[in-house]
Amino acid sequence: MKLRNYSIIILLLFICLHSTSELYSQANRWKRMRYEVFAGIGATNFLGELGGSDKVGSNFLSDLEISMTRPALTVGGRYWIKSRLIFLTSFTYGTLWGNDSRTNEIYRNERDLHFRSSIWEWQNRIELTLLAAKRTSRYNLKRVRGRKNGNKFSIDVYAGISTFYFNPKQKVDGRWYTLKTIGTEGQNFSETRKPYSRLQVGIPVGLEVKYLLNRKWSVGIDIGPRFTFTDYLDDVSTTYADVDKIIEYNKNIKASPEVIRKICAAILSDENSTNDSHAATYQQRGNALNNDIYMFFLITMNYKLRTARNGLPKLR
């Protein structure tokens, strides 16, 4: 009788240990694939002084000019710190455009400035998983109990820091001119206006939704603005400067005084305009109270890598 009781106790202990081991294995399954690489394409746009909607400019999505959207490319990788906490690093390239001729707001339209700028971004961020995808059974066998239809969607929110390079240019008479070197608002000679740096820091925040295709592959949609600490993504921020001084400072560049006047919007493109003083020295040119924002909309293909025993990604 005692032997029977001992056998039952041992059996129960074995079942408990097995169940605990199984639960531990399931809880730590994510550690088997802690790495992920991805690549994607998408679009970029920005909120700044140039272009925008048919009203006074603002830093809200209602001021976004959809026609100025341009392509973007991205590559990067992820590392799972915890099952719902992820570190991401990525490199993204895009092009920003803005054009006052696309808005019917009278002051911006008569200012008639435009720009384009490549933007190169290195981003590092932390992602928090709000909804985790639950892996389905490897084989879809009929009449087999198990998780055949798990949740294939995951939702993550993120925040981080980015370093980016930009270089605004304007086209005059068929040629693109780099605006920073010209100093369109007097940065090159005014004591109160220092030249801006084209290497800046931003704060990326956003949302990503991924759909699990299988154990290793997934497709994602990433939407996120970048809040910057500069108002010169489009080279416009404060007021008009003395164009004669700008011309004097740039006498050695291959640009005629007429070209520089056009670049600085010191002459009106609309000969019928009655607003003859809008380009006068110290008249408002931009809004220095709000920094510029750029944003990405990306579609990515993601591939998970197995974790080797040494903790590094297993490439084979």
Q: Is the pLDDT of residue 218 over 70?
A: yes
pLDDT band at residue 95, thresholds of 50, 70 and 90? very high
CATH number 2.40.160.20 is the correct assignment for the domain at 34-306: yes
Q: Which residues pair with 120 in a beta bridge?
A: 93, 165
Q: Which long-range contacts (CB under 8 A, 24 or more apart) does 21-30 make?
A: 27/83, 29/135, 30/80, 30/83
| Distance (Å, whole) CA 157 – CA 269 | 45
User: Can you give the residue ranges of every domain in the chain?
Assistant: 1-33, 34-306
Q: Other CB atoms closer than 10 Å to residue 158's CB: what's the count? A: 18
Q: How far is CA 218 from CA 133, 293, 302, in A?
A: 10, 29, 5
Place of tokens 């879809």: 140
Q: Is the pLDDT of residue 73 over 90?
A: yes
The label of the residue with tokens 């592959």 reads 217
- Lowest model confidence (mean pLDDT) among 59-73, 186-200, 219-233, 264-278: 264-278
d(CA 124, CA 161): 6
Q: HSE (CB half, 13 Å, CA atoms) of 187?
A: 17
| Residue in the block written with tokens 């920005």 | 46
Confidence (pTM): 0.82
Nearest to 184 by CA among 216, 224, 149, 232: 232
Tens of pLDDT, residues 1-29? 555 555 555 655 544 444 444 434 445 77
* Spatial CB neighbours of 289, under 8 Å, sequence gap ≥ 6: none
Torsion from C-alpha of 121, 296, 168, 109, nearest 10 degrees = -170
Tell me how far apart the alpha carbons of residues 282 and 245 are, in angstroms, rounded to a whole number: 13
Confidence band, pLDDT 50/70/90 cuts, at residue 277: very low
pLDDT per residue as tens digits for the range 97-151: 998 888 877 777 888 889 999 999 999 999 999 998 876 555 555 555 554 557 8
Residue-wise pLDDT tens digits, 226-253: 999 999 999 999 888 888 888 888 877 7
Q: Look at residue 273 in the predicted model and tell me its pLDDT.
A: 45
CA angle at 229 for the pair 224 and 234, rounded to the nearest 5° = 80
Q: Could you tell me what percent of the chain has a pLDDT over 70?
A: 79
More confident: 220 or 271: 220
In three state form, how does the secondary structure of the chain look? Answer: CHHHHHHHHHHHHHHHHHHHHHHHHHHCHHHHHCEEEEEEEEEEEEECCCCCCCCCCCCCHHHCCHHHCEEEEEEEEEEEEECCEEEEEEEEEEEEEEEHHHCCCHHHHHHCCEEEEEEEEEEEEEEEEEECCCCCCCCCCCCCCCCCCCCCEEEEEEEEEEEEEECCEEEECCEEEEHHHHCCCCCCCCCCCCCCCCEEEEEEEEEEEEEECCCCEEEEEEEEEEEECCCCCCCCCCECCCHHHHHHHCCCCCCCHHHHHHHCCCCCCCCCCCCCCCCCCCCECCCCCCCCEEEEEEEEEEEEEEECCCCCEECC
- What's the length of the chain? 316
